[in-house]
Each structure stands twice: as C-alpha cells, then as structure tokens.
Amino acid sequence: MDLFDPIDRETLDWLEFGASRVGLNQHYVTDQQALYQQLCDECQWSQPAVFLFGKRHKVPRLNAFYGDSGVEYRYSGLTHRAEGWPASLQMLKTRIDSLLGTRFNTVLLNWYRDGGDTMGYHADDEAVLGPEPTIASISLGAPRRFVMKRRNDPKVKREVMLEGGSLPVMAGRFQHDWLHAVPAARRVREGRINLTFRRVNSPEH
C-alpha cells in the first residue's frame, strides 16, 4: 500500500499567526480511506469519561492511544498509558518524524463517528509537552472544520477544512496563544479519525 503522494509528501504550507504557526498539507496520506478502515478495525477504542464541574461526562467521540512503552499522558483528568506501536502507526510516525525533524513518542487517536462527535475548544498545553510543542496531526475520512480563536481576543478566529488525508502541524506559540476545536457538523454522516503525534517528556523516555 503506497500511502504517500510522491509530489506532495514533503511540502507544508505554513500559516503564520505571529509567533504561532500552523502548517498544512491537505494531501499527505493518499490511500487515506484504507488507513481509516484499518485503524477503525485494529485500534483499541474506548469512550472515556471526564469530570466537568463535578459531573461525569463521556467524551463525545472515541479514543485510542499508542506510543513508546510506558509513556503516560495525562490531560483533563484522563491518563493514557502507551504499550507500543501498531505497525501502521509506527510507519506513519517514522515518516512524519523525518519530515519535521521531530521524535514523537505518542499518538492520540480521536474517532468522530459522525458529525455529532466533536472536540471542544482547548489548547494542548500540558507542561509535559514542553513550552512550544510541535504537534503533527493526520485526518482520515470525512472532512471536518478545524476552528481556532485567539485566547486573549476570542473575536479573532480562523478556520480550515481538514480533508481526509491532510496533515496539519501546530507549532511555535500556537498552544499559548490560540484555542482550537472541531465543532459539530450536522449533515456529516461519515466518520473521521484524527491522529495527533506528540512528544511527551517523561523521566525515563
């Protein structure tokens, strides 16, 4: 299976928002429907619950988590512990690491089963990700809107439609200065999987 388009694979368009940076290649994974199906079938999906204002809520999507064995990632009261890489994700990680010069050690997967599954506004700014984390993300399946707003001036908004096969990269001060979300899309019946590759600093890794 040739997942990578030989023309587009090394190119990212960088959108500069001051010192915040978002890079985008809309066609990074060519055989993206096959990878979508493979990950639906092979990953261990769950729907964890988080506590918001003292109430328990299931997250409105499914999650899976992989990475170097023993690496833990905590956010919103959830702890994910990595137990290694499935072959398909290891291959993708190696490819992205050589494109970006990164050494990702985890990948968080979100499966939006249809347009009703969402991700609320947040920043990936946990201390273990470091002060200016580079986070590479792959979207598979249905196109969905990725919306951004400035933390200190929420009227300032940007958005981009992430196509199946796209590679957005968040870098620089993006997590300090901006929040991002994937809003509901009422007419979307198809699923989407998003993978975010992160480097989690942990004492042993």
Write each residue from 2 to 41 as x if it is in contact with Fe ion (CB under 5 A), else as -, in one continuous string: ----------------------------------------
Write each residue from 109 to 138 as x if it is in contact with Fe ion (CB under 5 A), else as -, in one continuous string: ---------------x--------------
Nearer to ligand AKG among residue 7 and residue 174 (C-beta)? 174
Q: Is 32 in the site for ligand AKG (CB under 6 A)?
A: no
Nearer to Fe ion among residue 97 and residue 125 (C-beta)? 125
With CB under 5 to 8 Å by kind, the binding choice for 110 among Fe ion, ligand AKG, none is ligand AKG
With CB under 5 to 8 Å by kind, the binding choice for 108 among ligand AKG, Fe ion, none is ligand AKG
**DSSP assignment of the chain:** ---B-TTTTT--EEEEETTEEEEEETTSBTTHHHHHHHHHHHS--B--EEEETTEEEE-SSEEEEEESTT-EEEETTEEEE--B--HHHHHHHHHHHHHHT----EEEEEEE-STT--EEEE----GGG-SS--EEEEEEES-EEEEEEETTEEEEEEEEEE-TT-EEEEEETHHHHEEEEE---TT--S-EEEEEEE----TT-
